[in-house]
Amino acid sequence: MYQYLGDIMLFETITITALMTFVLYAFASVGGSNKKVLGAVEVIGILLYLSGSYINTHSEYYRHVWKLKEENRGRLYTEGLFSLAMHINYFGDIVLFTGLAMITHSLSMLVIPLIMALNFVFNIIPALDRYLEKKYKNEFKDYSKRTKKLIPLIY
């Protein structure tokens, strides 16, 4: 799957590592100064964080296990949570970072999952879809016709 990245994979790894360091530091700095008692917003934020983490990790893990099987070599994974949305792992990221933003109790922190969502929708997903269509051809075309792109039942 990562052949399409080539040199880009190293660049993306370094960029994401640096960016996530900054993002997590921002969440910790802003959230660490939150003196509010645990309330409904924080509980919802925690639930979103846990749900998003589960969606991302569960989908990636089961795709990984499926891809390890010899009979699945060269095939597109469309099962599990990926049957609900083609890029369900990215949806999990958006949900978990929205949860983190809510926990900070700072509206400005909601910019992070918003930028992340926009980057997924306008940059990462189109590039990945082009790669997947090139690699999996009709299998990907059929999958994309019957499956939402990012948000189950919506988009």
Helix/strand/coil (H, E, C) string of the chain?
A: CHHHCCHHHHHHHHHHHHHHHHHHHHHHHHHHCCCCCCCHHHHHHHHHHHHHHHHHHHHHHHHHHHHHCHHHCCCCCCCHHHHCECCHHHHHHHHHHHHHHHHHCCHHHHHHHHHHHHHHHHHHHHHHHHHHHHHHCHHHHHHHHHCECCCCCCC
CB 85 within 8 A of CB 151: yes
Task: Please report the pLDDT score of residue 3 as a whole number.
Answer: 46
Domain residue extents for the chain: 2-146
pTM of the predicted structure, to 2 decimals: 0.84
CB 63 within 8 A of CB 82: yes
Task: State the greatest distance between any 2 C-alpha atoms of the chain, in Å, as a whole number.
Answer: 54
Task: Please report the pLDDT score of residue 11 as a whole number.
Answer: 65
Task: Please report the pLDDT score of residue 25 as a whole number.
Answer: 83
Task: Please report the pLDDT score of residue 2 as a whole number.
Answer: 45
- Considering only CA atoms, which of 94, 64, 96 is closest in space to residue 79? 64
pLDDT in tens, the chain (155 residues): 444 445 556 666 777 778 888 788 887 888 777 677 788 998 999 999 999 999 999 999 999 999 999 999 999 999 999 999 999 999 999 999 999 999 988 889 999 999 999 999 999 999 999 999 999 999 999 999 999 999 999 99
